[in-house]
Structure 1
Amino acid sequence: MKATAAPAHPGDAQPLHPTQALDDTVHQRVRLGVLSIAREADQVEFGFLKHQLAVTDGNLSRHLKVLEGSGLIAMRKGYEGRRPRTWISITSKGKRALDAEIQALRELVHRLDTRGAH
């Protein structure tokens, strides 16, 4: 794909840069990590996410609220023995959003790889 300042022919649509397909809700490092880890399992426990992503309870909670508010994850609270637990699972919408994010990143990498080959 050749980048130009204007379309080659009037009326032709200029393809958007692959970064235009990145979703700010998904692309943020912690949220991308949550979605990726949740995609690997049916559900994941809050403490596991906290450890894997090296974040504080408060920081992770804020990101989970954003993802839950966007419909990308579901959270379930319960107990394991006497200890309260929160389990997170990715929703169908979350899977589609993660897939779209990964595809946009692949297109960006491909674009840069083909540019670097010259």
Structure 2
Amino acid sequence: MSAPVFDAVIHAPGRLQICAILSGVDEGEFAMIRDQIGVSDSVMSKHVKQLEEAGYVFPRKAAAAGRQRTWLSLTGPGRKAFAGHVAELNRLAGMVATST
């Protein structure tokens, strides 16, 4: 289990959702993830770029059904950062639960 660490790159709602989706699969297709989180292509691209610049997501382009498609996967550091971020959110939620 990763140590609880808040990660500002992952924390934005769209990026958090992207990481959550990718944490459960080896890779996911750009359009499927975009549709799941309900954003435009441009917003999705910005989120992916930030995650890629942080070293958390690896994009892979490949032709499928005669069209160029982008597949995304979490890198090792991305999986570790996501797990640490989730652990920190759980730790923070636990603080609230015990104080009420």
TM-score range, shorter chain: over 0.9
- TM-score of the pair, normalised by structure 2: 0.93
Q: Are 2:89 and 1:111 aligned?
A: no
Matches of 1:81 and 1:54, distance apart in 2: 24
Name the structure where helix makes up a greater proportion of residues.
2
CA RMSD of aligned residues (A): 1.1
Matches of 1:39 and 1:105, distance apart in 2: 16
Alignment correspondent of 1:62:
46
Structure 1 runs of 4+ with >3 Å offset = none
Identity %: 32
- TM-score of the pair, normalised by structure 1: 0.79
Higher relative contact order (CA 8 A, sep 6+): 2
Amino acid at match of 1:40: G
Matches of 1:61 and 1:109, distance apart in 2: 30
Amino acid at match of 2:44: L
Aligned pair count reads 97
TM-superposition CA deviations, 1:31-65 (whole Å, max 9, x none) = 01111101111100011011000000000001100
**Structure possessing the higher radius of gyration over alpha carbons:** 1
Structure 2: unaligned runs, 5 residues or longer: none
Alignment correspondent of 1:83:
67
